[in-house]
Chains A and B, each alone.
Chain A
Amino acid sequence: MAIELRGVAKTVGAQTHIHPTDLVLQQGVFNVLLGATLSGKTTLMRLMAGLDKPTAGRILFRGEDVTGVPVQKRNVSMVYQQFINYPNLSVFENIASPLRVVGTPGSEIEGRVAEVAALLGLTPMLGRRPAELSGGQQQRTALARALVKDSDLVLLDEPLANLDYKLREELREELPDLLEKKGATIVYATSEPQEALLLGGCTATLHEGRITQFGPTPEVYRGPKDLVSARVFSDPPLNVASAVRRGDTFALDDSVRWPATGPAAGLAEGRYTVGLRPHHITPSRPAGDALEVEARVLVAELSGSESIVHVRIGGHTWISQSHGIHPVAAGANEPMYLQTGRFFYFGEDGALLAP
Chain B
Amino acid sequence: MRSFKWLAPAIYIVFLLLPIYWLLNMSFKTTNEILGAFSLWPQDFTLANYRKIFTDSTWYGGYLNSLAYVAVNTVISVAAALPAAYAFSRYHFLGDKHLFFWLLTNRMAPPAVFALPFFQLYSALHLFDTHIAVALAHCLFNIPLAVWILEGFMSGVPKELDETAYVDGYSFPRFFVKIFIPTITAGIGVTAFFCFMFSWVELLLAKNLTSVAAKPIAATMTRTASTAGYELGLLAAAGVLTIVPGAFVIYFVRHYIAKGFSLGRV
Point out residues on A near B: beta carbons under 8 Å.
49, 51, 70-72, 76-78, 80, 82, 84, 86-89, 97-98, 101-102, 142, 145, 149
Interface 0/1 of B183-194, CB less than 8 Å to A: 101000000000
A87 contacts which of B160, B165, B169, B183 (Cβ < 8 Å)?
B183
Residue B164 is within 8 A (CB to CB) of chain A in the complex? yes
Closest 6 CB pairs of A and B: A88-B182, A101-B169, A98-B168, A78-B167, A84-B160, A71-B166
Point out residues on B near A: beta carbons under 8 Å.
158, 160-161, 163-171, 174, 179, 182-183, 185
- CB of A176, distance to nearest CB on chain B (Å): 21
Please determine whether B169 and A77 come into contact, CB atoms closer than 8 angstroms: no
Please determine whether B169 and A98 come into contact, CB atoms closer than 8 angstroms: yes
29 contacts between A and B (CB under 8 A): A51-B163, A51-B166, A71-B163, A71-B166, A71-B167, A72-B166, A72-B169, A78-B163, A78-B164, A78-B167, A80-B160, A82-B160, A84-B158, A84-B164, A86-B164, A86-B183, A87-B183, A88-B182, A88-B185, A97-B165, A97-B168, A98-B168, A98-B169, A101-B168, A101-B169, A101-B170, A142-B164, A145-B164, A145-B168
**Residues in B neighbouring A72, C-beta threshold 8 A:** 166, 169-171
Please determine whether B164 and A80 come into contact, CB atoms closer than 8 angstroms: yes
Please determine whether A86 and B179 come into contact, CB atoms closer than 8 angstroms: yes
Q: A78-B163, A86-B164, A101-B168 are in contact. List 4 more A-B contacts (CB 8 A).
A: A49-B167, A87-B183, A89-B179, A97-B168
**Known contacts A98-B169, A145-B168, A86 near B163 by CB under 8 Å:** no
Q: Which of B161, B163, B168, B185 has the most CB of A within 10 A?
A: B168
**Residues in A neighbouring B160, C-beta threshold 8 A:** 80, 82, 84
Please determine whether B183 and A76 come into contact, CB atoms closer than 8 angstroms: no
Q: Which of B161, B166, B169, B185 has the most CB of A within 10 A?
A: B169
Please determine whether A88 and B163 come into contact, CB atoms closer than 8 angstroms: no
A175 CA / B163 CA spacing, docked (Å): 22
- CB of A47, distance to nearest CB on chain B (Å): 13
By beta carbon, the residue of chain B nearest A102 is B169
A76 contacts which of B158, B167, B174, B185 (Cβ < 8 Å)?
B167
By beta carbon, the residue of chain B nearest A151 is B167
A171 CA / B168 CA spacing, docked (Å): 22
Q: Label chain B's interface by main secondary structure.
A: helix
By beta carbon, the residue of chain B nearest A74 is B167
A235 CA / B179 CA spacing, docked (Å): 41
A71 CA / B165 CA spacing, docked (Å): 10
- CB of B25, distance to nearest CB on chain A (Å): 45
- CB of A97, distance to nearest CB on chain B (Å): 5
By beta carbon, the residue of chain B nearest A97 is B168
**Residues in A neighbouring B171, C-beta threshold 8 A:** 72
B161 contacts which of A84, A101, A102 (Cβ < 8 Å)?
A84
**Residues in B neighbouring A142, C-beta threshold 8 A:** 164
A70 CA / B163 CA spacing, docked (Å): 11
- CB of B231, distance to nearest CB on chain A (Å): 50
By beta carbon, the residue of chain B nearest A46 is B163
**Residues in A neighbouring B174, C-beta threshold 8 A:** 101
**Residues in B neighbouring A88, C-beta threshold 8 A:** 179, 182-183, 185
Please determine whether A77 and B170 come into contact, CB atoms closer than 8 angstroms: no
A288 CA / B160 CA spacing, docked (Å): 51
**Residues in B neighbouring A87, C-beta threshold 8 A:** 183
- CB of A15, distance to nearest CB on chain B (Å): 14
- CB of A78, distance to nearest CB on chain B (Å): 5
A149 CA / B185 CA spacing, docked (Å): 29
By beta carbon, the residue of chain B nearest A145 is B168
**Residues in A neighbouring B164, C-beta threshold 8 A:** 78, 80, 84, 86, 142, 145
Q: Which of A77, A89, A97, A149 has the most CB of B within 10 A?
A: A97
- CB of A238, distance to nearest CB on chain B (Å): 33
- CB of B266, distance to nearest CB on chain A (Å): 21
A80 CA / B170 CA spacing, docked (Å): 17
**Residues in B neighbouring A49, C-beta threshold 8 A:** 167
- CB of B91, distance to nearest CB on chain A (Å): 14
A101 CA / B166 CA spacing, docked (Å): 10
**Residues in A neighbouring B168, C-beta threshold 8 A:** 97-98, 101, 145, 149
**Residues in B neighbouring A98, C-beta threshold 8 A:** 168-169
A78 CA / B165 CA spacing, docked (Å): 10
**Residues in A neighbouring B185, C-beta threshold 8 A:** 88
By beta carbon, the residue of chain B nearest A77 is B167
Q: Which of B161, B166, B183 has the most CB of A within 10 A?
A: B166
- CB of B108, distance to nearest CB on chain A (Å): 33
- CB of B240, distance to nearest CB on chain A (Å): 38
By beta carbon, the residue of chain B nearest A142 is B164
- CB of B256, distance to nearest CB on chain A (Å): 14
By beta carbon, the residue of chain B nearest A101 is B169
A235 CA / B169 CA spacing, docked (Å): 38
**Residues in B neighbouring A71, C-beta threshold 8 A:** 163, 166-167
**Residues in B neighbouring A80, C-beta threshold 8 A:** 160, 164
A175 CA / B165 CA spacing, docked (Å): 22
A312 CA / B179 CA spacing, docked (Å): 57
Q: Which of A86, A87, A89, A97 has the most CB of B within 10 A?
A: A86
A101 CA / B173 CA spacing, docked (Å): 13
**Residues in A neighbouring B170, C-beta threshold 8 A:** 72, 101
A97 CA / B174 CA spacing, docked (Å): 12
A145 CA / B174 CA spacing, docked (Å): 18
- CB of A151, distance to nearest CB on chain B (Å): 9
- CB of A1, distance to nearest CB on chain B (Å): 22
A151 CA / B167 CA spacing, docked (Å): 10
A70 CA / B167 CA spacing, docked (Å): 9
